[in-house]
Chain A
Amino acid sequence: MNILVCIKQVPGTTKVEIDPANGVLRRDGIASKMNPYDLYALETALTIREQHDGLVSVITMGPPQAEAIIREAYMMGADQGFLLTDRRFAGSDVLATSYTLSQGIRTIGSFDLIICGKQTTDGDTAQVGAAIAEWLDIPHVTWVRAIRTITERGMTVEKNMAESIETVSIQFPCLITVDKDIYMPRLPSYKKMIETNNRTITSLSLDDLPDQDENHYGLNGSPTQVERIFQPDDSREQVIWDDAMDDGADKLFTVLINEKYIRT
């Protein structure tokens, strides 16, 4: 099995603030880490490799410092890592990010299975995985919570829907995004760190990709634009009713309707 895991470096906390002076995120002083949901994706790949042999590769797009999470993936057991890094990739939205990753994937080889985390903790879109699958013209299943069987031709997985569990079989090559808790991620090992200290990380820039049109990458290739960011207004005003004076049940009923917990 040739497995690829897509990973991303994210800020170490979601408690980020906006600089009132220029309206952009304050990123300085915030440590980075691997997107926590990607650990489940990587663990899934490593577990499959243990049972079916093969190679586990990781790919990420980001600044040169994102190398750190490929090192971390090596310490968990990944075999090879690729870093898509180029100033021209900056400012990518869902479309441009998924396109760049798909171009990188085409460059480095062909894979039976691509695994992504269910979402990142910074962008929170949960939509890049499915878009990569579309660019590569392969089927995908999102929110996979368990892998039932794997054969040469494909796999059967359990998919976590809001109110049901769907068992779906899918043909290789394919992409899945995995839910939290599919497997417990292993810890990075010191032994592996020593072993992989000198292992190369392959950097890819736009010049290495099949599509060289700069209009398809970064800000140029991103149809969506962020007009502004702001801190949410959580100054909800408090309301207290006295059941002896007002009908408390009636007041609550209205609140629950307005908040859409009851439909009429």
Chain B
Amino acid sequence: MDGLIIGQQCTLCGKCLEVCPFDALELIDGRIQVNANCRLCRLCVKHCPEQAIRLQTSASVVDKSEWRGIMVFGEYGDGQLHPVTIELIGKARELAGKTKMAVSVVLVGHDLGQTADSLLDYGVNTVYVYDDPALATFRVDVYANVLTEIIGEMKPSVVLIGGTSLGRSLAPRVATRFRTGLTADCTQLDIKDNTDLIQIRPAFGGNIMAQIITTRTRPQFATVRYKVMDSAVKTVRTGKVISRSIPSDLLKSRLEVVRIEKKDALPSITEADVLVVAGQGVRSKDDLVLIRQLADRLGGQIASTRPMVEKGWLDYTRQIGLSGRTVKPKLIITCGVSGAIQFCACMNAADLIIAINRDPAAPIFRIAHYGIVGDLYNVIPKLIQRIEGSAQYAI
């Protein structure tokens, strides 16, 4: 197990006793000793004028039975919970069920309202809440202090963090503090009977998958890709919410968030995750509104084939094809696109291709994963209606 080592340089100046927020250091028998209160916050390491204190880790295998439970980082920002949190809870419950462990969520932010309580609907056993003005914006050093504190105390076996911009900035700092394994951007997770987490992730741009385990250390950190795991379903509420705080010293940051602006500029079609493509099956420029609406509802962008650009209906920056852009979105829906080779060659690497076309012999159906042989003027309005009728659509 990791611990603090007080080196011979120690002059018994007592600085560490002053800065320790947990009363974990004591002067006993003429030397500084570390007691069980230590949370490895390292304030003493930082403040020791003699640099006599360091964090020692052992290469030996940790006692896995001391580390129990699945902890989920609840990502909260801009007044709402990030949906990846519910996906992580869903996966955490599955892993916890297999190993008879509990699921906890750590919710960090300010003015969190009913968010913590609402998480109990998803079968979470404990929600730990850190609500403080100093946590209102994401500052990685302070958020890392919070996570370090709760993990040090609760000793979860697994810590799941969303593979978001925020999560992938935060997770490495915390995992490093515990000198333990971190597997980035996982797309599949399972767990062995001995609580080793089976982590599967893509590498080489998705051309290779790697299965990774953390056998000697705990906790096991994984960041998990957004929109891959199934969201947790609501169940009987049995859990509880616990409010927590950490010493103000650990809320001091070397970062300051000056401003947060919503992105207004639309990403280009080469960057968009979702594209809805208008082809010659669209009969008039005004009808493009249908394609736009569908793109909007799916949080995507409108794109087009070459003829649409030549007619002047859409800007050339929206054109997919050899004379336009090559795209690799997660989802592409082609509407009334026949699928000329110049077009298909520049979009067939998309993760999911859905084609709508009246002609069953259209070449686009050769590369589509899902195809609808039908009139886009019939299919798309109904689809938009269905989406709008559902509780909420994706961001």
Chain B interface: which size bin? 35 or more
B368 & A227 in contact (Cβ 8 Å cutoff): no
A124 & B184 in contact (Cβ 8 Å cutoff): yes
**Main SS at interface, chain A:** mixed
A140 & B169 in contact (Cβ 8 Å cutoff): yes
| Residues of chain B lying within 8 A (CB to CB) of residue A174 | 254
* With contact pairs A95-B182, A167-B259, A264-B392 given, residues A232 and B207 touching in the complex (Cβ less than 8 Å): yes
Chain A binder among B98-106, B128-136, B260-268, B336-344: B260-268
B255 & A169 in contact (Cβ 8 Å cutoff): yes
Name the contact of B175 in the complex, choosing from A15, A95, A133 (C-beta under 8 A): A95
* Chain B 73-99 per-residue mask, 1 if CB under 8 angstroms from chain A, else 0: 000001000010000000000000000
Chain A binder among B20-28, B308-316, B383-391: B383-391
The complex places the Cα of A49 from the Cα of B252 at a distance, in Å, of 31
5 contacts between A and B (CB under 8 A): A95-B182, A139-B141, A231-B207, A242-B372, A248-B378
A255 proximal to B (CB < 8 A): yes
A162 proximal to B (CB < 8 A): yes
A256 proximal to B (CB < 8 A): yes
* With contact pairs A165-B263, A166-B259 given, residues A131 and B185 touching in the complex (Cβ less than 8 Å): no
| Residues of chain A lying within 8 A (CB to CB) of residue B255 | 139, 141, 168-171
A121 & B370 in contact (Cβ 8 Å cutoff): no
| Residues of chain B lying within 8 A (CB to CB) of residue A247 | 382
The complex places the Cα of A250 from the Cα of B383 at a distance, in Å, of 7
B177 proximal to A (CB < 8 A): yes
| Residues of chain B lying within 8 A (CB to CB) of residue A127 | 168, 171-172, 182, 184, 223
Which chain A residues have a beta carbon within 8 Å of chain B's beta carbons?
Answer: 11, 14-16, 18, 25, 93-95, 98, 121-131, 133-135, 137-143, 156, 159-171, 174, 215, 220-232, 236, 238-244, 247-253, 255-257, 259-264
B177 & A240 in contact (Cβ 8 Å cutoff): no
B395 & A94 in contact (Cβ 8 Å cutoff): no
Name the contact of A163 in the complex, choosing from B209, B263, B356 (C-beta under 8 A): B263
B274 & A241 in contact (Cβ 8 Å cutoff): no
B166 & A161 in contact (Cβ 8 Å cutoff): yes
Which residue from chain B places its CB closest to the CB of A237 in the assembled complex?
B369
* Chain B 330-372 per-residue mask, 1 if CB under 8 angstroms from chain A, else 0: 0100000000000000000000101010001000010011111
B375 proximal to A (CB < 8 A): yes
B169 & A142 in contact (Cβ 8 Å cutoff): yes
The complex places the Cα of A122 from the Cα of B207 at a distance, in Å, of 10
Chain A binder among B63-71, B198-206, B235-243: B198-206
The complex places the Cα of A96 from the Cα of B288 at a distance, in Å, of 53
* With contact pairs A224-B214, A252-B379 given, residues A242 and B373 touching in the complex (Cβ less than 8 Å): yes
A14 & B207 in contact (Cβ 8 Å cutoff): yes
The complex places the Cα of A134 from the Cα of B208 at a distance, in Å, of 29
B208 & A223 in contact (Cβ 8 Å cutoff): no
Name the contact of B209 in the complex, choosing from A98, A230, A238 (C-beta under 8 A): A230
Which residue from chain B places its CB closest to the CB of A221 in the assembled complex?
B59
B207 & A262 in contact (Cβ 8 Å cutoff): no
B374 & A243 in contact (Cβ 8 Å cutoff): yes
| Residues of chain B lying within 8 A (CB to CB) of residue A228 | 210-211
* With contact pairs A14-B204, A94-B182, A224-B181 given, residues A240 and B390 touching in the complex (Cβ less than 8 Å): no
B179 proximal to A (CB < 8 A): yes
A255 & B354 in contact (Cβ 8 Å cutoff): yes
* With contact pairs A125-B185, A220-B59, A261-B331 given, residues A94 and B172 touching in the complex (Cβ less than 8 Å): yes
The complex places the Cα of A161 from the Cα of B274 at a distance, in Å, of 18
| Residues of chain A lying within 8 A (CB to CB) of residue B227 | 260-261
Name the contact of B375 in the complex, choosing from A167, A215, A243 (C-beta under 8 A): A243
A131 & B298 in contact (Cβ 8 Å cutoff): no
- In chain B, residues 206-259, which have Cβ atoms closer than 8 Å to a Cβ of chain A? 206-217, 223, 227-228, 231, 253-259
| Chain A: minimal CB distance from B373 (Å) | 5
The complex places the Cα of A240 from the Cα of B169 at a distance, in Å, of 41
| Residues of chain A lying within 8 A (CB to CB) of residue B213 | 224-225, 227
| Residues of chain A lying within 8 A (CB to CB) of residue B216 | 223
| Residues of chain B lying within 8 A (CB to CB) of residue A236 | 369
| Residues of chain A lying within 8 A (CB to CB) of residue B126 | none
B184 & A165 in contact (Cβ 8 Å cutoff): no
| Residues of chain B lying within 8 A (CB to CB) of residue A241 | 370-374
| Chain B: minimal CB distance from A124 (Å) | 5
B165 & A229 in contact (Cβ 8 Å cutoff): no
| Residues of chain B lying within 8 A (CB to CB) of residue A230 | 208-209, 211
**A142, A143, A174: which has the most chain B beta carbons within 10 Å?**
A142
| Residues of chain B lying within 8 A (CB to CB) of residue A231 | 207-209
| Residues of chain B lying within 8 A (CB to CB) of residue A225 | 212-215
